[in-house]
Structure 1
Amino acid sequence: MKKTIKNLAVVALVAFTSFAFANNDVEKKQVKVESSSVVWKGYKVTGSHEGTIALQSGTLSFDGDKLVGGEFVIDMSTINTTDLEGEMKGNLDGHLKSDDFFGTEKYPTAKLVFTKVKASGKNSYAVTADLTIKGKTHPVNFDISIYGSKATASLKVDRTKYDVRYGSTSFFDDLKDKAIYDEFDLVTDLQF
């Protein structure tokens, strides 16, 4: 009996040590937030609007040269419209930060955490990640491409899953030309 317990302890120690060393190969590379960009584009019946939003922090994790993970924090208070000027720009920026949309006073950040990364070709990966906006977390799927110290990705987000309902025909009838589509795009250009 003592011998069996001793053998189990040795097996457990070897397994734990192997696991610990296997994880040491993963390198987290900091994303250079000042030279990276996130562009958003939202669509409505009568057209679209677009702008930028800043990353607060970000890392991409690599095992050798293979992407294995990532985590990003987005500064929601920086949401900015780039296709308007003057009072119209100010009004839309303020509305996007209000509780009708992203409620940035109560929810100043959003977060994206990779949960699954699978190589889908040379320098490209299919990613599943948990996206948290306004305190609500849902999975999103997207492709990311890595070239040297740069990465690009674009994803579609269904805003209604995050309680961003303003102007959504999924929740309000009779909006006509005031309707705003539920999905918006995020396009990232990352440097690390």
Structure 2
Amino acid sequence: MKMSMKSVITLIAVAAPSFAFAAAYDIDAAHSSADFSVKHMMVSNVKGNFKVKSGTINIDDKDVTKSTVEAVLDATTVNTAEPKRDEHLKSPDFFDTAKYPTITFKSTKVAKAGKDKLKVTGDLTMHGVTKPVVLDVVGPTPEIKDAFGGMRRGVEATTKLNRKEFGLGWNKALEAGGVAVGEDISIVLALELTPKKDAAAAPAAPAAPAAPAAPAAKGTK
């Protein structure tokens, strides 16, 4: 059966959505946070944060298990609202930020964990050590339009890790027993996402076949 050129173009246009990639989003660092808390002197929790530096999240809404996450935190920005303590945290006793200025996470697996919940497994690199961790994620939220006409989504992730596994082993024994700094660190990531500026909505569709050349008029060379 012969098809007209118009029919071929129409068929390609209808089929094009099947080539679409998952939607790519940048982490909006200015509207995202990375907070942590750790036991202090066995009696209370010290809370602090790092600035989010950058990151990309690819979200496949049709099959969320195909989604991917990459994020970078700026370890040099560690802040617990106490300058002397912050300088100690930046020193070789802890994060050694002169040598290891960033903390990175790259997902290796995404699994559903209930309505609007995910388990995201990935490699966390901190203080030059890479270990697998699991993030408990709520979201991603549906896209909404912000006050400036842009689109946004959000995710929140929590996890707990042992700092000694990443070589952050400094501590000081207390006279009454116990230690100055707890080993377990609780982490909360609150991320706002915006559509990736350089992301293509879809790969180029196959080029339509060229129309056959019209026969030359009689009497011409």
**TM tier, shorter chain?**
0.7 to 0.9
Aligned to 1:61: 58
What displacement does 1:99 show? 0.7
Aligned to 1:188: 189
- Name which of 42, 52, 56 aligns with 2:49: 52
Aligned to 1:125: 118
Aligned to 2:87: 94
- Name which of 153, 169, 175 aligns with 1:165: 169
Q: Which runs of 5+ in 2 are unaligned?
A: 1-16, 143-152, 194-221
| Greater RCO, 1 or 2 (C-alpha within 8 Å, sep 6+) | 2
Counterpart amino acid of 2:71?
Answer: F
The runs of at least 4 consecutive aligned structure 1 residues that moved more than 4 Å come to 21-24, 172-175
What displacement does 1:180 show? 1.7
Aligned to 1:75: 74
- TM-score for both structures, normalised by structure 2: 0.68
Higher mean C-alpha deviation, range 172-181 or range 121-130: 172-181
- TM-score for both structures, normalised by structure 1: 0.77
- Choose 1 or 2 for highest CA Rg: 2
% of aligned pairs identical?
A: 29
Counterpart amino acid of 1:166?
Answer: W
Count, aligned residues: 163
CA gap of 1:163–1:175, structure 2 versus 1, over 3 A, is: farther
Tell whether 2:42 aligns with 1:42: no
CA gap of 1:115–1:173, structure 2 versus 1, over 3 A, is: farther
SS at match of 2:39: strand
Counterpart amino acid of 1:119?
Answer: K
More strand by share: 1
Counterpart amino acid of 2:29?
Answer: V
Aligned to 1:8: none
Cα distance in 2 for partners of 1:64, 1:93 equals 40
RMSD: 2.4
